[in-house]
Amino acid sequence: MNWLDYVIIVTYLGGFLGLGYFFKDNKSSKDYFLGGRNVGWFPLSLSVMATQLSAISFISAPAFVELCVMHRLQCYVRLVLKQVVQTYSLRSIQQMVV
């Protein structure tokens, strides 16, 4: 690796540590993990969707499709439908809690 690569990695890590220190308004670990119980259903569902659509999903999806002998379109349609169901279930759960 070149010296510029190390500079980029250190800057990246330092930036995220700085953001974490700047935005640390958590009073306890429970407040940290539950987001203060004030996160809406839409940002929460986007967070879940972003977590499930990570880089590993795009790398492993073609292998999964080939392994299960499924058509690619069917695999992605199921993924989108699953996200919609999760979004509305998170919304209904949040309304029950509040």
Identity of the residue numbered 95: Q
Identity of the residue numbered 40: G
- 32 in a domain, yes or no? no
**Per-residue pLDDT at 45:** 77
Q: Are residues 45 and 84 in the same domain?
A: yes
pLDDT by residue (tens digit) across 6-61?
999 999 999 989 988 887 777 777 777 777 777 777 887 777 777 777 766 667 76
- 64 in a domain, yes or no? yes
Q: Are residues 90 and 45 in the same domain?
A: yes
- Look at residue 75 and tell me whether its pLDDT is greater than 70: no
The secondary structure of residue 89, as a DSSP letter, is H
- Look at residue 88 and tell me whether its pLDDT is greater than 80: no
Handedness of CA 90, 95, 97, 98 (dihedral sign): positive
Location of structure tokens 């996160």: 39
- 90 in a domain, yes or no? yes
Q: Are residues 23 and 43 in the same domain?
A: no
**Per-residue pLDDT at 10:** 96
Q: Are residues 10 and 44 in the same domain?
A: no
- Three-state secondary structure readout of 6-70: HHHHHHHHHHHHHHHHHCCCCCCHHHHHHHHHCCCHHHHHHHHHHHHCCHHHHHHHHHHHHHHCC
Q: Which residues form the domain of 13? A: 1-27
**Per-residue pLDDT at 55:** 66
Interacting residues of 49 by C-beta distance below 8 A, sequence separation 6+: 83, 86, 87
* Backbone phi, psi, residue 58, to 5°: -75, -25
**Per-residue pLDDT at 86:** 76
**Per-residue pLDDT at 9:** 94
